Structure 1
Amino acid sequence: MEPAAFENLVGQLVEALNHRDVEVTGRPGDGGVDVRAVRVDQWGHAAPIAVQVKRYSKSLGRRTVDELLGTIVRERYVAGILVTTSDFSKDAQKAASLAPQIQLVNGAQLVDLLAEHGVAIAYGHYGELVLATGD
């Protein structure tokens, strides 16, 4: 899957997760933000979030978490989600655990979220993954 298509797929997932004003912004020089959205809490408070998408085969390290945290602070986002097709190193997981505004989504979690929300894939009758029909 091309990087832009993957960013669009994650954008569709963010929208399926009930975020508003979802904008796929991924491009060179995007400041580490591939998807922007607004998360609305149970009280109706809107909070801007940044999503960074990494289509990698190797684990992501702490540097990637630190870069997203810097972007959140600099650009005044309330939270950030780091999505990868692979996994996160122990250092990256530790860094994210110390920054409550950062959420990590690894490849396995991504597949589960896509299937659970019927974005591109879904769970079949027997729990197998099938192409989502969009119904």
Structure 2
Amino acid sequence: MKKIITSDKAPAPLGPYNQAIEANGTLYVSGQIAIDASTDTLITGDVEKETILVMKNIGYILEEAGYTYSDIIKCSIFIKDMNDFGKINEIYGSYFGEDAPARETVEVARLPKDVSVEISCIAVK
């Protein structure tokens, strides 16, 4: 059985998907971009600010579902420019300790709303 997870603190989906789905003790969080849900403002032009907000949005969804960053087992990071990898990696890494999740980081031609970074994740309890 699946359960739809929605946090008012994270941005509403931009299309026909949900923020997250929980099924059999696993949480699947959809790709998050830098939209501040409290003001409905898209943050662009500063990859560090974008990454911080993306990670916060993931945190809001995790919290709503009763998970934490330490429950994340897999992340997918999509970036517009691989030259930003170091900045993104430093901020991303600050959310995890020694038990960081598995992940991949790929450069893509374009992301929704022309943001610089999008991150999705899978978490288990």
Q: Identify, as 1 or 2, the structure richer in strand.
A: 2
**TM-score normalised by structure 2 residue count:** 0.38
**TM-score normalised by structure 1 residue count:** 0.36
**Greater radius of gyration (CA):** 1
Q: Higher relative contact order at CA 8 Å, sep ≥6: structure 1 or structure 2? A: 2
